[in-house]
DNA sequence: TGGTTTCCATAACGTCCGGTACATATTCCC
DNA sequence: GGGAATATGTACCGGACGTTATGGAAACCA
C-alpha cells in the first residue's frame, strides 16, 4: 500500500533532523522550564534558526507540547512498566526508583519536566499548565485502577483509601522531583524511597 | 532610651504603608512566581509607582527577599508550632494540616511560595532559588533535631533513619504544595494527610 | 530550462521587561 | 522664610522577548 510515502517531498529538503532537534528542545525546556527557555536558547541548542523552527514546529507552545510527548514516551516509560508489577508495593517501588533514575540521570537535567511545568505560574504558561495537569490526571487514574485491582487481589488491605493512597504516592513522587531539582543527591532520594517503603501497608 | 526614634524623618513623608505594600507584593509573588510577576503587576497591586517601589525596597529581587521574610513570619508560623508538639507523630500531623490551611486558604493564593520558587528555573531566578533552598535547609535541620529528640524520648522506633524520615515528610509536604497549586481540593489533600498518618511509624 | 515548491538566513517588527532621569511636591531644621 | 532632604508622577532608556517579512538557495516536475 505505502500510504505514508517516502517518495521525496516536493521542494528543498530540510537540512536537520526534526527528531534530534525536538530532543534538544526537550533538554532546554527540561532544564529551564517553558517560560525560562527563550527562542534563542532553543534555536541554539537545536542548531537551527528561528524561521526553521517555526516552519517545522509551529511556534514555541506547539514545540513544547511535542517535547512533552517525547518526554512522556521516552523518559516516563518506567511508569508503564510500574503498573505491570505484580504487587502494589512493587508498583510503588518501581515508580519511586524509576523516578530517581529519570530525575537524577547524569545526562539529563535534574528534576521532572511535569512538576516544573505545573508549578510555573506565569501568564503565558496557563495553557501549558492545563496540558500537564490533564496528562497527570490520566496517569493518576491509571494508578487508581491498578490499586483497585491490587485490593481485589488481596494485595492491599481492605481499609485503605485508594484515591488517598494514589495522591499520597504522587505527592512523594512530586516532592522527590522538587528535591531533585533543588540540590538533593541520589542518596538523599534513596533514603526517602527506603523510608516510604518501610511504611508501605501490608508485607 | 528610645534609640529607634520616631522623631520624624527629614524629607517628605511617604504616602503609603510599606507593610501593606509588602503584603500586596507577597500576594503577587505567591500567585505568579518571581519571574511571572512583572513590575507592572507589583506596582498595580501595591498601589504605588515604580520609583516609589525602588526607593522603598531597592529592586525587584530585594522586594522578593523581603516578601519571603514576611511569608516565613506570617504564613509559615505553623511550622514553629509544629516543632513544639509533644510527639513525632503530632509534629508530622501539625506540619501537614498546617500546610493545608496555609496553602488552601480562601483569601490567599493556592500552593506554597517556597515550592514555586524552588522549581522556577529561569536565569534571573538563580539567586532567588538559592535563598529559598537555604531557608528550606535550615528549616529541615530543625526538624531533624526534633526527630532526634523524639527518638531519645522513645517516641520514634530506634531503627528509623532520621534524615530519611525528614526528607520523606518534606517530600509529602512539597508534593501537597504541587497538588494545591494545580487544582487539588482541600478534601484531596486531607486524604493524602490521612493516608500518610495511617502509615506513620509507631502508635 | 523554466516553473514551482520548500527551506535557509538575515534582519526587522512591535511589545514588554526591569530600571532611571528629571522635574515637581511636600516635609523638616534652622 | 530659606535651604536641605525625601517622595511622587511622567516619561523614557536599552535590551530581550516571540514572531514574521523578505530574498535567495536547493530540490522537484515539466
CATH number of the domain residue B65 falls in: 1.10.10.60
A192 touches chain B (CB under 8 A): yes
Residues whose CB is less than 8 angstroms from the CB of residue A25 and which lie 6 or more positions away in sequence, other chains included: A42, A45, A46, A57, A63, A66, A67
Nearest CA in chain B to A167: B192
Asked if B33 lies within 8 A of A121 by C-beta distance, the reply is yes
Asked if A168 lies within 8 A of B171 by C-beta distance, the reply is no
Count of structural domains within chain A: 2
Nearest to A136, CA basis, from B182, B202, B54: B182
Compute CA B102 distance to the chain's CA centroid, rounded to the nearest angstrom.
Answer: 9
Asked if B183 lies within 8 A of A133 by C-beta distance, the reply is yes
Q: Based on the fold, state whether residues B135 and B181 are members of the same structural domain.
A: yes
The residue segments making up the domain with residue A27 are 16-74
Q: Based on the fold, state whether residues B66 and B115 are members of the same structural domain.
A: no
A40 touches chain B (CB under 8 A): no
Determine whether A105 is exposed, middle or buried from the number of CB atoms within 10 Å of its CB (0-12, 13-18, 19+). exposed
- State the first-to-last Cα distance of chain A, in angstroms, to the nearest integer: 55
Residue A80 lies in a domain: yes
Nucleotides of D under 7 A from a protein CB: 4-11, 16-22, 25-29
Looking at CA atoms only, how far is residue A138 from chain B in angstroms? 14
The total number of residues shown for chain B amounts to: 203
Residue A81 lies in a domain: yes
Last residue in a domain, options A51, A74, A97 = A74
Residue A1 lies in a domain: no
Looking at CA atoms only, how far is residue B124 from chain A in angstroms? 9
Q: Based on the fold, state whether residues A70 and A84 are members of the same structural domain.
A: no
User: How many Å does it take to go from CA A64 to C1' C5?
Assistant: 28
User: How many Å does it take to go from CA B118 to C1' C10?
Assistant: 39
Q: Based on the fold, state whether residues A117 and A168 are members of the same structural domain.
A: yes
Spell out a b/e string for A130-150, using b for 16 or more CB atoms within 10 Å of the CB, else e.
ebbbebbeebeeebeebbeeb
Looking at CA atoms only, how far is residue B18 from chain A in angstroms? 25
B178 touches chain A (CB under 8 A): yes
Q: Based on the fold, state whether residues A33 and A124 are members of the same structural domain.
A: no
Q: Based on the fold, state whether residues A150 and A87 are members of the same structural domain.
A: yes
Q: Based on the fold, state whether residues B54 and B100 are members of the same structural domain.
A: no
Residues of chain B with pLDDT under 50: 1-5
Q: Which three cell numbers mark B198?
A: 495511617
Q: How far is CA B192 from CA A133, A169, B89, B96, in A?
A: 18, 9, 15, 9
Nearest to B68, CA basis, from B114, B104, B35: B114
Residue B126 lies in a domain: yes
Q: Based on the fold, state whether residues B181 and B129 are members of the same structural domain.
A: yes
Task: Give CA–CA dist A146/A19, Å, rounded.
Answer: 33
Q: Does at least one atom of strand D sit less than 7 Å from the CB of B12?
A: yes
Last residue in a domain, options B71, B100, B117 = B71
Residue A112 pLDDT: 98
Asked if B168 lies within 8 A of A31 by C-beta distance, the reply is no
Looking at residue B83, which CATH number applies to its domain? 1.10.357.10
Residue A10 lies in a domain: no
Contact in structure between A37 and A69 (CB atoms under 8 Å):
no
A20 touches chain B (CB under 8 A): no
Q: Based on the fold, state whether residues A118 and A141 are members of the same structural domain.
A: yes
Give residue B200's region: left, alpha or beta (phi > 0; psi -120 to 50). beta
Tens-digit pLDDT string for chain A (203 aa): 333 445 677 888 999 999 999 999 999 999 999 999 999 999 999 999 999 999 999 999 999 999 999 999 999 999 999 999 999 999 999 999 999 999 999 999 999 999 999 999 999 999 999 999 999 999 999 999 999 999 999 999 999 999 999 999 999 999 999 999 999 999 999 999 999 999 998 76
Residue A5 lies in a domain: no
A32 touches chain B (CB under 8 A): yes
Residue B2 pLDDT: 40
Residue A9 lies in a domain: no
Last residue in a domain, options A31, A47, A74 = A74
Q: Based on the fold, state whether residues A164 and A150 are members of the same structural domain.
A: yes
Residue B11 pLDDT: 87
- Identify the DSSP state of B14: P
Residue B138 pLDDT: 97
Contact in structure between B191 and B115 (CB atoms under 8 Å):
no
Residue A7 lies in a domain: no
Task: Quickly count: other Cβ atoms within 10 Å of residue B49's Cβ.
Answer: 12
Q: Which three cell numbers mark A154?
A: 488481596
Q: Based on the fold, state whether residues B24 and B94 are members of the same structural domain.
A: no
CB < 8 Å & 24+ apart, contacts of A142-151: A142/A83, A143/A83, A143/A91, A143/A169, A143/A170, A146/A83, A146/A88, A146/A91, A147/A88, A147/A91, A150/A87, A150/A88, A150/A91
Looking at CA atoms only, how far is residue B153 from chain A in angstroms? 20
Q: Based on the fold, state whether residues B81 and B132 are members of the same structural domain.
A: yes
Amino acid at each position: 500500500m505505502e500510504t505514508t510515502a517516502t517518495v521525496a517531498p516536493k521542494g528543498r529538503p530540510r537540512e536537520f533532523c526534526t527528531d534530534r532537534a525536538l530532543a534538544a528542545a526537550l533538554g532546554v525546556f527540561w532544564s529551564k522550564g517553558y517560560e525560562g527557555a527563550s527562542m534563542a536558547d532553543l534555536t541554539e541548542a537545536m542548531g537551527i534558526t528561528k524561521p526553521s523552527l517555526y516552519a517545522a514546529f509551529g511556534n514555541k507552545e506547539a514545540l513544547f507540547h511535542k517535547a512533552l510527548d517525547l518526554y512522556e514516551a521516552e523518559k516516563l516509560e518506567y511508569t508503564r512498566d510500574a503498573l505491570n508489577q505484580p504487587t502494589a508495593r512493587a508498583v510503588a517501588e518501581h515508580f519511586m526508583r524509576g523516578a530517581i533514575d529519570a530525575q537524577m540521570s547524569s545526562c539529563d537535567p535534574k528534576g521532572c519536566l511535569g512538576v516544573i511545568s505545573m508549578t510555573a505560574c506565569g501568564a503565558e504558561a496557563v495553557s501549558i499548565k492545563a496540558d500537564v495537569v490533564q496528562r497527570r490526571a490520566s496517569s493518576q487514574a491509571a494508578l487508581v485502577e491498578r490499586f483497585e485491582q491490587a485490593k481485589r487481589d488481596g494485595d492491599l488491605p481492605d481499609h485503605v483509601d485508594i484515591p488517598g493512597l494514589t495522591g499520597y504516592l504522587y505527592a512523594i513522587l512530586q516532592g522527590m522531583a522538587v528535591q531533585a531539582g533543588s540540590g538533593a543527591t541520589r542518596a538523599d532520594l534513596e533514603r526517602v524511597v527506603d523510608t516510604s517503603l518501610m511504611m508501605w501497608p501490608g508485607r
